[in-house]
Amino acid sequence: MSARILVVDDVEVNVRLLDAKLSAEYFNVLTAFDGFQALKVAQDEHPDLILLDVMMPRLDGFETCRRLKADPRTCDIPVVMVTALSEASDRVRGLEAGADDFLTKPVNDIALFSRVRSLVRLRRTMEEWRHREDVYGRFSALIEDGRAAEDSGPARVLLWEESTNAATRLAEMMAPITGELVRPTVPEDLARQCDASIDLVILNTMGKADALRIISKLRAQEVSRLVPILLIADPDELPRVAKGLDLGATDYLLRPLDRNELLARARTQVRRKRLQDRLQENYQKSLSLALTDSLTGLYNRRYFTVHLDGLLARMREGARGPALLMIDIDWFKRVNDAHGHAAGDEVLREVTARITRHVRAFDLLARYGGEEFVVVLPDTDRRVAEAVAERLRVVVAEQPIRVSQPPTDLSISVSIGLAITEDANETSASLLRRADEALYAAKGRGRNRVVAFPEQAILKDAVA
């Protein structure tokens, strides 16, 4: 996962060290050497994440963070404070200033990269929700400002701790923000009891249960996919914690636990969850038949056009452009002619379901018209787009589709045309034209295949 990281430190050696480490992991690095310069770079360049030193002259990291979080242009950028201060009170001060995380010098590489990847992934998801909210706002007056959602009411917390004594201590520490504490007795109950009403999961990595498998199961469930997960671990478990963050955990604390830091991190996660809930609520409120396809439930062509225009406009702010897939169901007219339009509708719904299960949460799938679909892949290079396109082709074709009247198994395949954004002057019309040409080539070369623009760049020759 590539991202642009702003490194802020008044000591040039520290900046160069972090620059080298991040560049070696294929991140793009921006630099600033004091708080005022950091504010300007953040406003002008909109990085994906900021690594911010605390001890700086003129404007220290705490005040810089407060100003970043108070500015609507930069408030959504994750901030990780990096400092030699190691007291829990300093970490709490940073978190209360709005920081998303806190790393102590010398920075452990495992902790650094796991934090960066986790926060960048979270930023991308939140950014996509905000973009959808903005698009829907052009069509609806029902949108409420998600930024104002600072609900500080009691939280519903799910706690997994096998030790009764440890669970009691954690419950006491969390009491100031907990309205209801849910404590499953077996791992299977944890997955069952974790739904969208849970504000935070606290998960002890020690014990008989496999914490990583629990994280994976929670993220696989639709109802718990976005619930924040806070890991409690020992200092020697950092590699395991890093794996947990890769699987979808959102934060962690190392023992011995400090009550104030636990509360500060928990409050941060609960606020983020409630903001995310508000964005989703706004999304649902503004969803209307004017923007969706009644048969498949997908976005329609009208919404897709506005969405794609918005992503292309971001390129002028330095973001990487999207990739576009155009998908056509092969020989669909034959399905309608031979089996009736009801069977054709079942095929459309099943193809929709299969594609939906195999695109990312921040990708956009829309019905373009008839038997044609489009998938917009934000911030995606050619290699990833090719892999996604081929995966979608396979999941549609590998199993027949069952239609009910009369009960029949139909072998269905799709042809896919792929186009990559070329430059900041790209328009939705030009990107669509290239994807359409690639789709036309895929159909001309036998169907059930993926072709990237230009048409000679054939990715997969499948048997039609």
DSSP character for 361?
Answer: T
Q: In whole angstroms, give the CA distance from residue 198 to residue 237.
A: 26
Report H helices in 252-300: 259-286
pLDDT given at position 3: 87
Question: At CA 371, angle to CA 369 and CA 373, rounded to 5?
Answer: 65
Whole-prediction pTM: 0.54
Averaged pLDDT for residues 183-202:
89
Closest among 320, 310, 282, 301 to 144, alpha carbons compared: 282
pLDDT given at position 82: 87
What kind of fold does domain 301-460 have according to CATH?
Alpha-Beta Plaits (3.30.70)
Closest among 132, 130, 58, 61 to 95, alpha carbons compared: 61
Partners of residue 369 on adjacent β-strands: 372
Q: Which CATH number fits domain 147-285: 3.20.20.10, 3.30.200.20, 3.40.50.300, 3.40.50.2300?
A: 3.40.50.2300
pLDDT tier, 135 (very low <50, low <70, confident <90, very high otherwise): low
Partners of residue 160 on adjacent β-strands: 203
In this structure, how many other beta carbons lie within 10 angstroms of the beta carbon of residue 235? 10
Query: Which CATH number is 4-107 given?
Result: 3.40.50.2300
pLDDT given at position 258: 86
pLDDT of residue 148 exceeding 60, the answer is: no
DSSP line for 20-68: HHHHHTT-EEEEESSHHHHHHHHHHH--SEEEEES--SSS-HHHHHHHH
- For the four alpha carbons of 68, 319, 83 and 205, in that order, the dihedral sign comes to positive
Lowest mean pLDDT among 102-106, 159-163, 209-213: 102-106
Closest among 67, 62, 263 to 174, alpha carbons compared: 263
Report H helices in 195-258: 211-220, 238-247
Q: In whole angstroms, give the CA distance from residue 30 to residue 420.
A: 26
Lowest mean pLDDT among 27-36, 293-302, 325-334: 293-302
Averaged pLDDT for residues 161-174:
92
pLDDT of residue 31 exceeding 70, the answer is: yes
For the stretch 258-285, pLDDT in tens is 888 898 889 888 988 888 888 777 766 6
C-alpha distances (whole Å) from 151 to each of 276, 277, 336 are: 12, 11, 51
Q: Is 371 a catalytic residue?
A: yes
pLDDT given at position 138: 57
For the stretch 353-392, pLDDT in tens is 999 999 988 899 999 999 999 999 998 889 999 999 999 9
List, by residue range, all CATH 3.30.70.270 domains of the chain: 301-460
pLDDT tier, 288 (very low <50, low <70, confident <90, very high otherwise): low
Averaged pLDDT for residues 218-237:
90
| Beta strand 79-83 pairing with 101-104 | parallel
Q: What is the mean pLDDT of the chain?
A: 87
pLDDT given at position 321: 85
pLDDT tier, 128 (very low <50, low <70, confident <90, very high otherwise): confident
Span between the terminal Cα atoms of the chain, in Å = 34
pLDDT given at position 146: 44
- For the four alpha carbons of 167, 155, 175 and 114, in that order, the dihedral sign comes to positive
List, by residue range, all CATH 3.40.50.2300 domains of the chain: 4-107, 147-285
- For the four alpha carbons of 261, 244, 239 and 1, in that order, the dihedral sign comes to negative
pLDDT of residue 222 exceeding 90, the answer is: no
Among 371, 390, 422, 426, the active-site one is 371
Partners of residue 53 on adjacent β-strands: 82
